[in-house]
Amino acid sequence: MSVKSRIIVVPVFNKIENHVAWVVGNKVSKHDYRKYPSKVIHFDFSKVEPKFLKPYHITPLACLIHEYQQQGFYIKVRGCSDAMHTLLSSFNFINFCKGESAVIPLQKDKFTHPLWLIKQLENSSYIDAVTNYFQNTFLPNQDLFAVGNALGELFNNIFDHSNSKIPGYTFTKFIPERNQIILSVCDFGIGIPKKINTYLQKIGHEKLSSTDALKHATELAVSSKSQPHNAGRGLDTIRTSIKSLSGKILIVSNNAILWIKGDGSEQLVSIRENFKGTLFVIWIDTTHLPLTEELTEEISIV
């Protein structure tokens, strides 16, 4: 007699709130072991067309699957059309579901640096690999400091503050027809608003709403002081750098969403579900990247 295995249907995510609710509702902590005793989980993509599966859906999905894998589940992908299979393969998603995510992945699609399990000791070499690849292949005259800096700040944030039980996932994609680089980083830690509020309460301040705490975290020199060297510049550095390039940022953490749009305006949205973790998505218009110039002569900095 075969034991019943669970099928998790990936729907069309027409709103970020719906995506968050789906992720939260399908976390391994909510798995019904009595109803589904099998250690196999099927992720069914038959209800979603590739055009509705956006790059920013991929990293939370990877974190979700990693949690199941960590608990000894085997992941199977089903219901993929050829087009969906091609899309998921471009992120190395199919192999990742087979548990092949531990190695730095090879590119299956020349425009995508696929899913990578963020590893603290390999962060610098990964960032070098990504920036060198995109520069050498597509953008030889442009300075990719903003891309490397954003990845570095976000990786540091995960290891310094998130308390995530899994290290988190990232990918970077270049879309030539839009002159756009998209990077996405996701962890399943405690979330930025919760971290900020824990610190504020520790120093005797009042707790903020999730949206206010998230906004607060992106301001200069705001820090949860969770590491001795932490001076709270990371998120502000990203915000300043990406805004100066008219780029866009989406942050989803706990019950808050922060959109920083290309025109510099910012929109905070409160959401019902608590996304325990942080999802960052950054869109950079490559035509706004500065040109690589000659290196500086010796200059004094003090």
Partner 1 sequence: MDKTIVIKDCVAGTISNTEAVALKIELQNALVNFDVVTLDFSEVKVVTSSFLNSSLGEVVSNMGIENLKGRLNIKNCSSQLASVIAAYMTSLKNVKLQS
Q: Please give the Cα distance from 162 to 62 (Å, whole number).
A: 17
The residue among 46 and 227 lying less far from partner 1, judged by its C-beta, is: 227
Distance from the Cα of residue 252 to its chain's centroid: 9
Interaction of residue 301 with partner 1, rule CB under 8 A:
yes
Q: Are 131 and 147 in contact (CB under 8 A)?
A: yes
What are the structure tokens assigned to 81, written together? 């059309």
Q: Which stretch binds partner 1 (CB under 8 A): 71-79, 105-113, 232-240, 247-255?
A: 232-240
Provide, rounded to whole angstroms, the least separation between the CB of residue 155 and partner 1: 7
Interaction of residue 219 with partner 1, rule CB under 8 A:
no
Q: Please give the Cα distance from 222 to 220 (Å, whole number).
A: 6
Q: How many CB atoms lie within 10 A of CB 200?
A: 17
Interaction of residue 86 with partner 1, rule CB under 8 A:
no
Interaction of residue 249 with partner 1, rule CB under 8 A:
no
Q: What binding mask, one character per residue, do residues 119-148 give for partner 1 by CB under 8 A, x or -?
A: -x--xxx-xx--x-----------xxxx-x
Q: Which listed residue (17, 44, 109, 160) binds partner 1 by CB under 8 A? A: 160
What are the structure tokens assigned to 254, written together? 């706990």
Q: Which listed residue (38, 89, 180, 292) binds partner 1 by CB under 8 A? A: 292
Q: Which of 124, 135, 44 is nearest to 84 (CA)?
A: 44
Count, residues near partner 1 per rule CB under 8 A: 38
Interaction of residue 172 with partner 1, rule CB under 8 A:
no
> Helical H runs in 120-233?
123-137, 145-157, 192-202, 210-217
The burial class, CB within 10 Å (0-12 / 13-18 / 19+), for 108 is middle
Binding site for partner 1 (CB under 8 A): 120, 123-125, 127-128, 131, 143-146, 148-149, 152-153, 155-156, 159-160, 221, 227, 229-231, 233-234, 237, 290, 292-293, 295-302
